[in-house]
């Protein structure tokens, strides 16, 4: 009988030292950790939202609404562009994600084509005499969608940051989804309010003289509901031009304030926005412009004078909370497309703390029971298995911490389960050794043969369980993935501990025995 090869002994020691090194911060208090020198790892285990408390939301970006809005903007811009050159347009409309229109004078078709090409280089233009069908290419739209997702992630980050919540994780998932994880949110209602509004602010002109009750809404305009009530007590309906004078993108700051005892939002335009607004108001004194938030008219004041100061205020029937939220939205920017919540999971800090406590107690009780059981059944060998088991636990915690993998409640269950299963490898080995001794082999030969024979069984039986764990990881979400991670890790580490650590202990013990010693396991 031989001792373990030196490289294996060195491997065990390195693994043990590293595992303790990485696992140690988990049992230290924050202040102790802060006092440690920099080269010692400070990271504690990364708790999942179900333990730490927080909110997980899977959001879907409404690309259809985005497309619709783009087409509406495009038709409004085409109308303005062609009118500037006095090219008359009829039958303007959106069909099959394309803008269609015809020219009143067929001989201006070439002029119109050149104008469109210059203004919108990315446009696909289909021209048939005086008829035009225009739209954006698939490649261009994909590029835009990617930009939109990036923008949404930035806006959400800013909005959540403004509320004082720390460290949200926001990731794109698949084609049109965004995964939002915010720790420390107890009531997801606040979060929903933050992500639920696109907060698209625009300044546009009101079209007067069109009675929404009787007249058809002209091309390039929309009928929008107002926050102001009409004489009948119903919200007023206003006909608003689709052309945007200035939008929320041109704001540099917005703050809640008071004006004559009424909560208002005061804002500043950037240079471009200020200039545009100044020109538009100067040329349209006496007309009404509307301040529109998410397709609702907040107010529609008459322009008394050119407004060129570069700042302004929005007054609606706000409470101070509403004004504060609106100001926050305006500072953080608008979402380029609306979001829908597909899935939400929020765990409050109370349940999270309870779960951590329950998980800890359950693990300690489970491990203690297994340790006592093994010692009772196998005596000295049982204690060796117990040492391997504790080392196994340290390795799992160490690796989880080093990788900063997320530990969830099912993950704790996975650890507890592997604690039970981990001794399996030891049991297999001990039973084999016991058998070999019964078959008449010497202690040393029996130990060698026992390990050799047990190893294939150990590997086969663990690989099959690993297959199930890997598939769980692949198809599971959030907390379940945590379970798959700890289960796989636990299986791998228990194989390591049984094949190397237990073996080392058994071999060292066997070498110290005199000839003819009986096995402590009968």
Residues 356-415 that bind other proteins (CB under 8 A): 358-359, 361-367, 369-370, 373-374, 376-380, 409-410, 412-413
Q: Which span sits near other proteins by CB under 8 A: 30-38, 304-312, 315-323, 348-356?
A: 348-356
343 with 57: CB under 8 angstroms?
A: yes
- Determine whether 518 is exposed, middle or buried from the number of CB atoms within 10 Å of its CB (0-12, 13-18, 19+): exposed
- Report how many residues bind other proteins under the rule CB under 8 A: 87
Q: 25, 45, 60, 78: which one contacts other proteins (CB under 8 A)?
A: 60
Helix (H) or strand (E) holding 320: helix 320-332
Distance CA 249, CA 267 (A): 12
Which residues within the stretch 165-224 sit at the binding site for other proteins (CB under 8 A)? 186-189, 192, 196
Q: How far apart are the first and last CA of the chain?
A: 20
Given the complex with other proteins, which of 332 and 487 has the nearer CB atom? 487
Q: In the bound complex, what is the minimum distance in angstroms from residue 459's beta carbon to other proteins?
A: 9
Given the complex with other proteins, which of 35 and 376 has the nearer CB atom? 376
Q: Show the tokens assigned to 348.
A: 């409050």
Q: In the bound complex, what is the minimum distance in angstroms from residue 188's beta carbon to other proteins?
A: 6
Q: 153, 179, 210, 341: which one contacts other proteins (CB under 8 A)?
A: 341
Given the complex with other proteins, which of 67 and 486 has the nearer CB atom? 486
Q: 15, 323, 419, 500: which one contacts other proteins (CB under 8 A)?
A: 419
Which residues within the stretch 6-35 sit at the binding site for other proteins (CB under 8 A)? none
CA distances from 136 to 64, 98, 125, 251 (A): 14, 8, 9, 28
Q: Is 230 near other proteins (CB under 8 A)? A: no
Q: 346, 401, 494, 502: which one contacts other proteins (CB under 8 A)?
A: 346
Q: Is 294 near other proteins (CB under 8 A)? A: no
Q: In the bound complex, what is the minimum distance in angstroms from residue 170's beta carbon to other proteins?
A: 18
Eight-class DSSP state of 305: S
Q: In the bound complex, what is the minimum distance in angstroms from residue 338's beta carbon to other proteins?
A: 10
Angle at 15 between CA 12 and CA 18, to 5 degrees: 145
Given the complex with other proteins, which of 206 and 416 has the nearer CB atom? 416
Which residues within the stretch 311-340 sit at the binding site for other proteins (CB under 8 A)? 340
Secondary-structure percent of the chain, ordered helix, strand, coil, rounded to 5: 55, 25, 25
Given the complex with other proteins, which of 19 and 384 has the nearer CB atom? 384
Q: What is the dihedral of CA 324, 326, 329, 335, to 10 degrees?
A: 160
**One-character DSSP codes across 34-55:** HHS-TTS--PPPEE-HHHH-EE
Q: Which span sits near other proteins by CB under 8 A: 16-24, 158-166, 204-212, 426-434?
A: 426-434
> Phi/psi at 476 (nearest 5 deg)?
-85, 170
Which residues within the stretch 456-515 sit at the binding site for other proteins (CB under 8 A)? 456-457, 460-469, 471-472, 474-477, 479-480, 483-484, 487
**One-character DSSP codes across 454-471:** HHHHHHHHHHHHHHHHHH
Given the complex with other proteins, which of 336 and 382 has the nearer CB atom? 382
Which residues within the stretch 439-458 sit at the binding site for other proteins (CB under 8 A)? 439-441, 453, 456-457
Distance CA 255, CA 98 (A): 40
Task: Name the E strands within 141-272.
Answer: 169-173, 177-183, 201-205, 221-229, 235-241, 246-247, 251-259, 262-269
Given the complex with other proteins, which of 312 and 359 has the nearer CB atom? 359
Q: Is 417 near other proteins (CB under 8 A)? A: yes
Given the complex with other proteins, which of 21 and 509 has the nearer CB atom? 509
Given the complex with other proteins, which of 275 and 457 has the nearer CB atom? 457
């Amino acid at each position: 009988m031989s001792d373990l090869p030196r490289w294996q002994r060195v491997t065990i020691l390195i693994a043990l030292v590293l595992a303790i090194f990485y696992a140690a911060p988990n049992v230290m208090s924050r202040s102790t950790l802060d006092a440690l020198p920099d080269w010692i790892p400070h990271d504690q285990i990364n708790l999942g939202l179900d333990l730490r408390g927080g909110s997980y939301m899977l959001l879907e970006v409404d690309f259809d609404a985005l497309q619709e809005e783009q087409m509406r903007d495009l038709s409004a811009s085409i109308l303005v562009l062609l009118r500037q050159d006095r090219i008359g347009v009829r039958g303007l409309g959106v069909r099959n994600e394309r803008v269609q229109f015809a020219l009143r004078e067929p001989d201006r078709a070439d002029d119109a084509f050149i104008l469109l090409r210059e203004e919108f280089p990315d446009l696909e233009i289909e021209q048939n005499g005086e008829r035009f069908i225009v739209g954006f290419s698939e490649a261009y739209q994909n590029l835009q969608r990617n930009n939109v997702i990036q923008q949404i992630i930035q806006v959400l980050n800013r909005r959540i940051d403004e509320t004082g919540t720390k460290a949200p994780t926001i990731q794109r998932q698949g084609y049109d989804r965004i995964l939002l994880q915010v720790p420390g949110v107890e009531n997801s209602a606040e979060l929903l309010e933050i992500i639920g509004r696109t907060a698209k602010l625009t300044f546009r002109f009101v079209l007067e003289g069109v009675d929404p009750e009787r007249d058809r809404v002209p091309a390039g305009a929309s009928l929008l509901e107002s926050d102001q009530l009409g004489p009948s007590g119903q919200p007023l309906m206003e006909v608003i031009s689709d052309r945007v004078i200035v939008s929320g993108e041109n704001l540099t700051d917005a703050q809640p304030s008071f004006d004559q005892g009424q909560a208002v939002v005061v804002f500043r335009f950037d240079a471009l926005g200020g200039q545009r607004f100044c020109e538009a108001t100067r040329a349209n004194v006496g007309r009404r412009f509307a301040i529109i938030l998410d397709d609702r008219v907040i107010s529609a004041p008459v322009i008394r004078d050119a407004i060129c100061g570069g700042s302004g205020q929005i007054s609606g029937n706000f409470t101070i909370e509403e004004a504060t939220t609106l100001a926050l939205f305006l500072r953080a920017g608008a979402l380029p497309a609306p979001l829908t919540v597909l899935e939400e999971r929020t765990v409050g800090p109370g349940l999270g703390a309870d779960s951590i406590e329950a998980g800890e107690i359950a693990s300690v009780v489970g491990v203690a029971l297994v340790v006592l059981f093994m010692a009772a059944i196998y005596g000295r060998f049982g204690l060796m298995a117990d040492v391997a088991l504790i080392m196994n636990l340290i390795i799992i915690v160490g690796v989880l911490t080093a990788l900063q993998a997320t530990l969830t409640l099912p993950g704790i269950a996975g650890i507890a389960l592997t604690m039970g299963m981990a001794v399996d490898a030891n049991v297999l080995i001990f039973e084999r050794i016991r058998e070999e001794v019964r078959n008449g082999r010497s202690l040393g030969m029996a130990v060698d043969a026992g390990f050799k024979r047990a190893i294939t069984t150990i590997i086969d039986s663990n690989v099959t369980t690993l297959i199930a764990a890997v598939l769980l990881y692949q198809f599971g979400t959030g907390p379940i993935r945590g379970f798959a991670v700890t289960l796989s890790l636990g299986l791998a580490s228990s194989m390591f501990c049984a094949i190397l650590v237990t073996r080392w202990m058994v071999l060292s013990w066997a070498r110290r025995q005199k000839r003819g010693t009986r096995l402590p396991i009968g």
